[in-house]
Structure 1
Amino acid sequence: MSRLSIPLISTDDAWAHLKQLISPLPTESLALSDAMDCYLADTLSSDRDLPPQDRAASDGYAILCEDTHHGPTVLKVIDETAHLTPGTCLRVITGNPTPLGCSAVVPEKDIDITDDTILIKEPILRSSHILKQAHFSKKGTPLLEVGKQLKTGHLGLCAAIGHTSIPVVRRPKVAIISYGQNLVDCAAKPDKYQLREMNGTMFKAALSHALYEVTTIDLVSEDPVALKQSVTDAMRDADAILVTGGMSAEQSRLLPTVITQLGGTIYYDGINIKPGQRQLLAKVNEQILFGLPGSSIGGLVGLHEFVLPALRLLSGCSYKECIPSIRLPLMRTVQVGGTREHRILVKLQNTKYGPGLIPLSFTSSSDLVSASKADGAARIEYGRTSVAAGQYVDFRPWGSGNFSNHCSTIGDQYVGANG
C-alpha cells in the first residue's frame, strides 16, 4: 500500500486530494419523474420553436389592429370556426393559438362587451398581447447544459421540448459502517457503559434526504477482522464507504490497518479543523472511503464539509457548487484558537436587517443536544482568534429546513449546491 501520512493537513489540501480522486460516475437514462435533483450528463436542445406558433398572452379578443386606428371601434364577435375579417373579432383565452389574420389581442378588461359586439376606445398596436412564435427559444437552441442540477422547472422544460427520458450522472450508492466499542443499536436498551449508535442514523437520514441510496448500515465492534469483513462487503455494491467512529489517536490504527490489508491508499488521516480533526480519506479498489470521528459534532462537520460535497462531485456537480455557502453576519462575538480552522455551530435568526447567525456554545464535540439546535456551521479561517459581532462569515447550512425559510431575504448572496 502507498500511504501518504500527512497529520493535520489543511482543509484546502484535503480538498485537493478529493478533487484529484473523484470524477463523476457513469451516466444513465432516467424518466423525468425519477430525475429530480440529478445532474444532467448531456446538453438538451428544443425540438421545436417555443411557443410553436403565435399565442394569446391575455384573455380577450383577437382583432385586426388596423380596425382601431380611426377612433373608437365596434367589432362584431364571430364564431370560433370563422376567420378574422375587417370589422370582426374572436374570443381567445390566454395560451391559445391566435386565429388566422390576427395582428393583436385586446384584453377583455380594456373593452366594453355586449352580446355580440365589443367597443374598443383606444388604438391597439400591432402584436399587442401576442406571444410570438419562438419568443422563448428557436428550434435547436441548447436550453439545459451539462452539469445542471435538475429541479422542478427544468423537468417541466424537458417535457416541453420533447425529452421524456434524459441522460444523467448516476447517483452514488453509499455504505455506512458504525465502528466502536460498547455501541448498541439505537432501538436497544443500553447498559450504563454502552452507547446507542447515532451517527449512522444521522448520516443515513442526511444521505437519503439528498437522494443517495444507502446500501447498508453495519454496526461493528472494535475488531479488525469484523471491520475488514464489513468494508469488504460494502465494496461489492457501494461507490463510497463511510466509516464513523474509531478515529481517536489510540484507536485510529485499526482502520488504516484494514485499508492496508485490502490494498488501499490513504491520502490523509487528520485535518487541521476543529471540531472534526480526526478524519481519513482513502481509496480501496475503486471505492472512496471516508473515516469520520465518532463524536456527533465532529462527525457532522466531516459529513457536511467533505462527504456530502464529495458525493455531489460523484453525482456530476461542479466543484464550485458542491459546498453550499452564504455570507451572513454573526450576531455575537466569538473567540477561537488561531492554530486551526474552526467551525462554530450557529442558529439562523431573522432581524429587521435580514438573517443573521447566533453562535451556539457546546461543551464537547459529542454534545448532540447543542448540535440538534444548529442550522449549520460558520467557518472561521485558520489564524483568526476572534470574529466581532456584525462581521460576515461563511455559513454552511446543514440541511434545507430552516435555511429555506430565510431564502427570500438572503437573495443572491447564496452560493453552492441544494443544501
Structure 2
Amino acid sequence: MRALDEHRAAALALAAPLPAVEVGLADALGMVLAEDVRADEPLPRWDNSAMDGYAVRRADVLTVPAVLRVVADLPAGSPDEPALEPGTAARIMTGAPVPPGADAVVPIEVTDAGTTTVEIRVAPEPAAHIRRAGEDAIPGDLVLAAGALLGPAHVAALASTCRSSALVHRRPRIAVVSTGDELVPPGTDLRRGQLPDSNSWLLAAAVTEAGAVAVRLGPVSDDPAALLELLHSLDADPSVDGVVTSGGVSMGAFDVVKAALADSPGVEFLPVAVQPGKPQGLGRLPGGTPIWTLPGNPVSSFASFEMFVRPALGRMRGLAAVERPTVTALADEGWRTPPGRAQLMPVRFVGDARVVPATGRGSGSHLVARLALAEGLAVVPAEVDEVVVGASVHVLKVT
C-alpha cells in the first residue's frame, strides 16, 4: 500500500498554476494574485490632515491662546494650495492636503472659531496630526505578493495604487462525476436498493468552496464504455481543467471507473494506507487532463477530497499555501485506529482545544448524514494503534 503522504504528493504533482488573466476589481475578490504589486507613487500622495481642525504654522501658536486669521477652507479632495503666511491658518478637513507653510494641524475640539479668525487654545506638537506622503508606501515598495488570496483589504490595496484591475490566476473548472446504478437524483422516490446521489453534490460543493468552478455531472451508470466516452469528452474540452470521480475504484465486480480506465496508461489505481479512503486512483487522461478518482462511500469521498484534491486545486489557483489550517487538540474521548493505516477521523470541537469523534459511530465511511457534524479531520499516523483520552492529535479544520 502507498503511504498517505506519498499519495498526497502524487495528487498534488498533477496540478500546476493556471494561466493568468486580467480582471477588474469588481471580480478580483477570492482570486489569487499572479504577480507582485508594487507602489508606483507615494502612498499617500501628499501630506494630508489626520483630523478636522486648522492647519497652522507651529511657530505662531507656541504661546496660547493665539488668534490667527483664517485664509482658506480645505475640504477633503480640495486641490487648493493656499500658502500660509505668519499669523494665518486654514480650516482643514480629514484627508485634505496640508497647505504649503503649515507644519501642524490643531484639532477643532481645542479651538474657538470666529467669523474670520480662530483662537488656538492648545499648542500642537511638531507635525501634529499630519499624515506624511509615503507614510504607507514609497515607490517600489511591495504592496501585495504574488500568490496572495485577494480579500476585501487586498482589493482596497489594489485600488489605493490606482489599479482598476488585477492579474490573477483563473479559477480551475473541475468536472465532478459520481457513478453507480444505485444512485438517483435527490427528491426521487426510492425503490429498494436505490440511494440519493449525495456524492456529486458533496464534491461539487467542496470544489466550489475550494475556490474552483464545479461542473456537476451524474450520476453515471455502471457502464464502462459510456463512462469512458464521457471522460474522453471532458478530456477534449479545453474549458475543463480537471476531473474528480466518486465510486467504482475498489475491488468489486462492478467498479466502473477502474474498468473504464483499465487501458489508460496515465491513470493508476492502488490502495492507500488510510482509513477511510483506502481505494484510490489518479493520473492524467490521454489528453493530459488531471483526474482524481475517489471512493464512493460519502465519508471516504469527503476525506479523500480534503487530503488529495483540495491542495491540488489550491495549486491550480496559484495559492502560495494550499493546505487547510491545522491545529493541535486533545482527545476528550478515546477511539481505536486501524492497524497499519493512517486514520482520518471526523471530529467536532469541545471547547477551544479538545475534540471528540463527530459521531458516536466513529469514522464509518457511509455516515453521510452525520458527516455534517464534523468540524475537522483528526489525522492519526499509521503507527498509532489507539487514541487515548488526553492524547494530542493534529486536526485539519474543515469549517
List runs of 5+ in structure 2 lacking aligned partners. Answer: 74-79
For 1:290, the aligned partner's letter is: W
CA contact (8 A) 1:335 1:385 kept: no
Matching residue of 1:134: 134
Distance 1:116 1:10 in 2: 81
1:56 aligns with 2:49: yes
Aligned: 1:39 with 2:37: no
Matching of residue 180 in structure 1 with residue 180 in structure 2: yes
Partner of 1:244: 246
Instruction: State the alpha-carbon separation in 2 of the partners of residues 239 and 73 from structure 1.
Output: 71
In the alignment of these two chains, the number of paired residues is 386
Q: Would the alpha carbon gap of residues 19 and 195 (structure 1) be closer, same or farther in structure 2, given more than 3 Å must change? A: closer
Q: 1:72 to 1:391 in 2, by over 3 A?
A: farther
Structure 2 equivalent of residue 405 of structure 1: none
Q: Following superposition of structure 1 onto structure 2, how do residues 176-325 of structure 1 map, counting pairs within 5 Å? A: 176-235=176-235, 236=237, 237-251=239-253, 254-261=256-263, 263-284=264-285, 285-318=287-320, 321-325=321-325
Q: Look up the match of 2:63.
A: 70
User: Which amino acid in the other structure matches residue 301 of structure 1?
Assistant: A
CA distance in 2, matches of 1:110, 1:267: 76
Residues 66-101 of structure 1: CA deviation (Å, up to 9, x unaligned): 122234323333332653222222222221211221
Question: Is residue 24 from structure 1 mapped to residue 17 from structure 2 by the alignment?
Answer: yes
- 1:36-185 matches, within 5 Å, as 36-80=29-73, 82-114=82-114, 116-185=116-185
Amino acid across the alignment from 2:207:
L
Alpha-carbon deviation of 1:252? 7.5
* Residues 345 and 84 of structure 1: CA distance in aligned 2, closer, same or farther (over 3 Å): same
Q: TM-score, normalised by structure 2?
A: 0.89
SS of the counterpart of 1:42?
coil
Query: For 2:283, what is the secondary structure of its paired residue?
Result: strand
Residues 370-403 of structure 1 show CA distances to partners (whole Å, capped at 9, x for unaligned) of: 201112212112212334445443222224xxxx
8 A Cα contact 2:199 2:298, kept in partner: yes
State the SS of the aligned residue for 2:84.
coil
Residue in structure 1 matched with residue 76 of structure 2 by the alignment: none
**Deviation string for 1:35-65 (max 9, x for gaps)?**
2222211112222110000011122211111
Letter of the 1:13 counterpart: E
Shift of 1:191: 0.4
Contact 1:77 1:117 in 2 (8 A): yes
1:195 Cα offset (Å)? 0.7
Name the counterpart of 1:358: 356
Determine helix, strand or coil for the equivalent of 1:269.
Answer: strand
Q: CA deviation at 1:325?
A: 2.0
C-alpha deviation, 1:11, in angstroms: 1.6
Percent identity, aligned pairs only, is 26
- For 2:394, the equivalent position in structure 1 comes to 394
CA contact (8 A) 2:249 2:258 kept: no
Letter in 1 for 2:299: I
After TM superposition, the score normalised by the length of structure 1 is 0.85
Q: Distance in 2 between matches of 1:118 and 1:267?
A: 82
* Cα distance in 2, alignment partners of residues 51 and 386 from structure 1: 58
Give, in whole Å, the separation in 1 of the partners of 2:245 and 2:57.
72
Q: Is the 8 A contact 1:17 1:267 kept in 2?
A: no
8 Å CA contact 2:56–2:84 kept in 1: the answer is yes
C-alpha distance in structure 2 between counterparts of 1:268 and 1:10, whole Å: 14
Alignment partners' CA distance in 2, 1:306 and 1:362: 25
Q: CA deviation at 1:208?
A: 2.4
Checking the alignment, whether the CA contact within 8 Å between 1:331 and 1:389 is kept in structure 2 is yes
CA distance in structure 2 between the aligned counterparts of 1:110 and 1:144, rounded to whole angstroms: 40
CA 133–142 in structure 1, closer or farther in 2 if over 3 Å, else same: same
1:303 is paired with a residue whose SS is helix
- In 1, the alpha carbon distance for the partners of 2:390 and 2:94 equals 49
Question: How many Å apart are 1:175 and its aligned residue?
Answer: 0.7
- Partners of 2:139 and 2:269 in 1: how far apart? 50
CA offsets per residue over residues 115-171 of structure 1, 9 Å max, x none?
554443443222111110011111232322221111111111112212222211121
Task: Sort the Cα spacing of 1:144 and 1:181 in 2 relative to 1 into closer, same or farther, 3 A.
Answer: same
> Aligned with 1:343: secondary structure?
strand
Q: What is the rounded CA distance, in whole Å, between the counterparts of 1:226 and 1:207 in structure 2?
A: 24
Residues 173-193 of structure 1: CA distance to partner in whole angstroms, max 9, x if unpaired?
111111113111113211021
Structure 2 residue matching 1:29: 3-state secondary structure = strand
Amino acid at match of 2:292: F
- Measured after TM superposition, the shift of residue 355 of structure 1 is 4.9
Q: Is the 8 A contact 2:336 2:385 kept in 1?
A: yes
Native 8 Å contact 2:104 2:127 kept in 1 = yes
How far is 1:112 from its partner?
4.4
SS in 2 for 1:214: strand
* One-letter identity of the residue aligned with 2:329: P
State the one-letter code of the partner of 2:48: R
Measure how far apart 1:335 and its partner are: 2.4
- Pairwise CA distance, 1:253: 5.5
For 1:289-330, what per-residue CA distance to the aligned partner results, in whole angstroms no more than 9, with x for missing partners? 111111111111011121111111111123xx2111231423
C-alpha distance in 2 between matches for 1:194 and 1:288:
30
Amino acid at match of 2:242: A
Write the letter of the residue equivalent to 1:297.
Answer: V
